[in-house]
Amino acid sequence: MNTKVIGDWHKDFSLDELDGEALVVATALRDYLDSQYILRDRTVTIDGETFDLDNCSSGCKLFRKEFSYVYSTNNYQTGDTDYHTVESKGLFHLVFDGGLLYDVLSPEGDGELFYGIDAITPIEEILKEYGCELEPITSYCYTIHKEMIE
């Protein structure tokens, strides 16, 4: 079997928002994810026959410098029914809202729940090499930040 990358990075996997340490760490994560889940289009040749393998883009930018989310308390007992916006802090964020990456990276995805795929442990090990860790902030986003020293 012969596999060949045939394209540049899809815009979903661009690192254009990042710089410095965030760019170094994100590059390592992107390379790992590409080796496991095909972030770039490829061809594979098996017994002389060539097949195209499409990337796993979902229309969602995976590597983001900033991320915010909105939630509602809906607490009618206290009268707090407002919407609240949270600005997440960190080196950068992994956002995987849909598609294969949601299935394998989200704690609510099908990968680990149904197929036993543990995609997070290898990512945590890569992050540790750079003194970083991940923190889930939604079912589709992790904040990557420097490890907390206890």
The domain tally of the chain equals 1
Other CB atoms within a 10 A radius of the CB of residue 106 amount to 23
Give the mean pLDDT of 95-122.
84
Give the mean pLDDT of 91-101.
89
pTM of the model: 0.82
* 134-144 burial code (b ≥16 CB/10 A, e <16): beebbebbbbb
Which pLDDT tens digit goes with each residue over 7-39? 788 899 999 999 999 999 999 999 999 988 888
| 150 has a pLDDT exceeding 70 | no
Q: What is the pLDDT of residue 142?
A: 93
Position 60 confidence tier, pLDDT thresholds 50, 70, 90: confident
Rounded (5°) CA angle 119-17-41 = 55
- Choice among 34-38, 92-96, 112-116, 137-141 with the minimum mean pLDDT: 112-116
| 149 has a pLDDT exceeding 60 | no
Give the mean pLDDT of 46-60.
84
Q: Which domain holds residue 119?
A: 2-146
DSSP 100-127: HHHHHHSTTSHHHHHH----HHHHHHHH
Cβ distance 88 to 80 under 8 Å?
A: no
Q: Phi and psi of 120, rounded to 5°?
A: -80, -40
* Average pLDDT value over all residues in the chain: 86
